[in-house]
Amino acid sequence: MLQPIHLMCIDDRTQDLYLLAGYAEEIEFQILPNGKLADEPN
């Protein structure tokens, strides 16, 4: 279940955390400052 993290960054304006992970970089998600996941279609 462990996956490598390729990219992690924080947007300075919104304080959102962006993650790009997975062996083929197929996992991407955004975490809001309140700790919830953002609902964005890919």
CA dist 31 and 24 (Å) reads 21
Query: Which pair of structure tokens corresponds to residue 29?
Result: 């998600």
Q: Is there a domain that residue 23 lies in?
A: yes
Domain containing 28 equals 1-37
Domain assignment of residue 33, yes or no: yes
Q: Is residue 32 part of a domain?
A: yes
Two structure tokens written together for 11? 């947007």
* Amino acid 1: pLDDT: 79
Reported confidence tier of residue 10, pLDDT bands at 50, 70, 90: very high
Is 42 inside any structural domain? Answer: no
**Residue at 20 is within a domain:** yes
Task: State how many domains the chain has.
Answer: 1
Q: What CA–CA distances, in Å, run from 42 to 1, 2, 12, 26? A: 22, 22, 22, 11
Residue 14 — left, alpha, or beta (φ > 0 → left; ψ -120 to 50 → alpha)?
alpha
Is the residue at 15 inside a domain? yes
In this model, does residue 42 exceed pLDDT 80?
Answer: no
Does any domain span residue 11?
yes
pLDDT digit string (tens) for 17-34? Answer: 999 999 999 999 999 999
What's this model's pTM, rounded to 2 decimal places?
0.74
